[in-house]
Structure 1
Amino acid sequence: MHIIALIIIGAAAGFLATRLMKIEADILTTTAIGVFGALIGGLALRGLIAVTGFAAGFVGAVLGAMLLIWLWQTYGPRRH
């Protein structure tokens, strides 16, 4: 059940992050960005999650997804 919740939260976080960062991505990429962003944000904000609960987890997921998008745009493959 934890994996399903991670995918659902990751998809929502990826959707929000791609809109905030103003990039166009397909559903699979958006979900992957959100899931990996949730993992990054979850690790970075583990202490905050323990203190404030679910809301901090979602914020961490969105921030992690935004960080991943920034890294992808900065260091990823260049489009000409």
Structure 2
Amino acid sequence: MAVIGLIIIGAAAGFIATRLMGWETDLITTIAIGVFGALLGGLVMRFLTTITGMAGGFVGAVLGAMAVIWLWKTYGSGRR
């Protein structure tokens, strides 16, 4: 059940992050960005703050997804 929740939160976070960063992607890439961003953002938020609950996790997921997009644009094959 936690995996399904991660995919749902990841999809929402990936969608928001890709739109905030002006990056158009397909559904699978958006979900992947969100899930990886949720993992990265969750770890960072856990170390940096004591925010608890779903709101803190969602903020961390969006920030993490934005970080993944930035890393991909900077160092990945998404360079323009």
Structure 1 runs, 4 residues or longer, greater than 3 Å off = none
For these two proteins, the number of residue pairs brought into alignment is 79
Mapped partners of 2:18, 2:67: distance in 1:
11
Residue 60 of structure 2 corresponds to which residue in structure 1? 60
Distance 1:71 1:17 in 2: 13
Structure 2: 5+ residue stretches without partners? none
Q: Is the 8 A contact 2:73 2:79 kept in 1?
A: no
Q: Does 1:36 align with 2:39?
A: no
Q: Distance in 2 between matches of 1:28 and 1:66?
A: 16
TM-score, length-normalised on structure 1? Answer: 0.90
* Partner-residue secondary structure (3-state), 1:77: coil
The RMSD of aligned alpha carbons is: 1.6
Identity %: 68
1:69 corresponding residue in structure 2 = 69
C-alpha deviation, 1:53, in angstroms: 1.3
Letter in 1 for 2:33: I
Compute the TM-score of the two structures, normalised by the length of structure 2.
0.90
Q: Secondary structure in 1 aligned to 2:14? A: helix
Where 1:45 maps in the other structure, the secondary structure is: helix
Q: Aligned residue for 1:2?
A: 2
Contact 2:72–2:78 (8 Å) recurs in 1: no
* Residues 78 and 69 of structure 1: CA distance in aligned 2, closer, same or farther (over 3 Å): closer
Correspondence 1:23 to 2:34: no
Gaps of 5+ in 1: none
